[in-house]
């Protein structure tokens, strides 16, 4: 028996390495959404969907989900001290959405999943790209959908997620073997 | 440089707050039908800060006629 055949026999396959044979920490699945947000401008001070989501079905309850997110945005201060927050939330098996940290809520801005940018003074503006990386432990093999929401903090300003034709939002999910 | 579209400027000039426009390009909103299909008003929020949105023009608190008139001034 050749070494290659011995290895294939050891792995239990003749062509690919099954995820069950891969070491802890291996990336065993990737899902991504790269699209323009369906939300244009908003002055909402409560969280609204920006229209970007991505789904993944973990192969084991021990799997971790590494989440990468980048998005362009524009904030107009409008003469007020205003902030801009975004929220990453998830739905497991079609249930209600909640922040990716258990017990956190959209109004709690101290969570790792919420980022704030503050603009102060009359007519101030900020255009930037916001990024987030987070390792989630959903403990499920049901389908999970992650989505991005955003809102203003304080009245008087506006934000825009879809300012130009090349303003794309990316949400990428990697299943990491636990 | 103020990057807001005309309709956003008009809505803010009118002092209207807690709204969202769901559209690919705000500059394409040039009719009442397009406005009413893109516009959503935050009418309340849940305890965890989620917006409750309405697409019913009776909840908007502003009309396309008012917005168009303001846009024409810009």
Is the CB of B50 less than 8 angstroms away from the CB of A106?
Answer: yes
Mean pLDDT to the nearest integer, A97-107: 59
Average pLDDT score over chain A: 82
Q: How many residues would you count in chain A?
A: 178
Instruction: Kindly report the nearest CA distance between residue A50 and chain B, in angstroms.
Output: 8
Q: To which residue do tokens 């009245």 refer?
A: A155
Q: What is the pLDDT of residue A100?
A: 75
Which phi and psi (to 5°) does residue A89 adopt?
A: -130, 165
Subunit contact A105:B2, Cβ cutoff 8 A: no
Q: Between residues A117 and A97, which one has the greater pLDDT?
A: A97
**Complex ipTM:** 0.94
| pLDDT at residue A122 greater than cutoff 50 | yes
- Within a 10 A sphere around the Cβ of A145, how many other Cβ atoms? 17
Q: Are A92 and A142 in contact (CB under 8 A)?
A: yes
The predicted structure's pLDDT at residue A11: 64
Contact criterion met (CB < 8 Å) for A39 and B48: no
Q: Which of B3, B40, B52 sits opposite A163 (nearest CB)?
A: B3
In chain A, whose CA is at the least distance from the CA of B29? A40
Residue of A nearest to B53 (CA): A48
Q: Is it the case that residue A26 has pLDDT exceeding 60?
A: yes
With beta carbons under 8 A apart, name residues in chain A contacting B20: 39-44, 48
pLDDT in tens, B8-60: 999 999 999 999 999 988 889 999 999 999 999 999 988 778 899 999 999 99
Q: Where are the domains of chain B?
A: 3-73
How much is the pLDDT for B49?
80
Per-residue confidence (pLDDT) for residue A108, from 0 to 100: 44
Residue A103: pLDDT over 50: no
The fraction of chain A above a pLDDT of 70, given in percent, is 79
Question: Quick one: closest CA in B to A164, which residue?
Answer: B25
| Chain A residues with beta carbon closer than 8 angstroms to that of B54 | none
- pLDDT of A106 higher than 60: no
Asked whether the beta carbons of B45 and B22 are under 8 A apart, the reply is no
Q: What is the pTM assigned to this prediction?
A: 0.85
User: What is the dihedral sign for C-alpha A24, A26, A31, A34?
Assistant: positive
Interface membership of B18 toward A (CB under 8 Å): yes
How large a percentage of chain A has pLDDT more than 90? 40
* H helix count then E strand count, chain B: 4, 3
pLDDT on residue A6: 67
User: What confidence tens digit (pLDDT) does each residue in A27-70 have?
Assistant: 999 999 999 999 999 999 888 999 999 999 999 999 999 999 88
* Per-residue tokens: A45: 């001070």
Assess B54–A contact: CB distance below 8 Å, yes or no. no
Is residue A102's pLDDT more than 50? no
Q: Does B63 touch chain A (CB under 8 A)?
A: no
Q: Under a CB-based contact definition with an 8 Å cutoff, are residues A67 and A146 in contact?
A: yes
- Interface contact B4, partner A, CB < 8 A: yes
Q: Where are the alpha helices (DSSP H) in A12-119?
A: none
């Amino acid at each position: 028996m050749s070494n290659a055949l011995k290895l294939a026999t050891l792995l239990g396959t003749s062509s690919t390495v099954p995820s069950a044979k891969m070491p802890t920490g291996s990336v065993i699945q990737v899902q991504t959404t790269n699209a323009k947000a369906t939300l244009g401008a908003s002055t909402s001070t409560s969280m609204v969907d920006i229209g970007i989501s991505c789904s993944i079905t973990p192969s084991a309850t021990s799997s971790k989900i590494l989440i990468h997110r980048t998005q362009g945005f524009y904030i107009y201060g409008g003469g007020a001290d205003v902030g801009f927050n975004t929220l990453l939330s998830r739905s497991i098996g079609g249930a209600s959405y909640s922040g990716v940290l258990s017990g956190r809520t959209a109004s709690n801005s101290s969570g790792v999943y919420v980022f704030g940018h503050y603009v102060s003074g009359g007519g101030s503006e900020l255009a930037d790209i916001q990024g987030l990386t987070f390792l989630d432990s959903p403990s499920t093999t049901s389908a999970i959908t992650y989505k991005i929401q955003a809102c203003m903090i304080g009245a008087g300003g506006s934000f825009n997620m879809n300012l130009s034709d090349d303003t794309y939002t990316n949400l990428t999910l990697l299943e990491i073997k636990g | 440089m103020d990057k807001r579209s005309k309709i956003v400027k008009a809505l803010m000039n009118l002092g209207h707050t807690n709204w969202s426009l769901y559209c690919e390009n705000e500059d394409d909103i040039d009719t009442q039908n397009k406005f009413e299909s893109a516009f959503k008003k935050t009418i309340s929020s849940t305890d965890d800060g989620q917006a409750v949105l309405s697409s019913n023009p009776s909840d908007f608190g502003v009309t396309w006629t008012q917005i168009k008139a303001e846009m024409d001034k810009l």
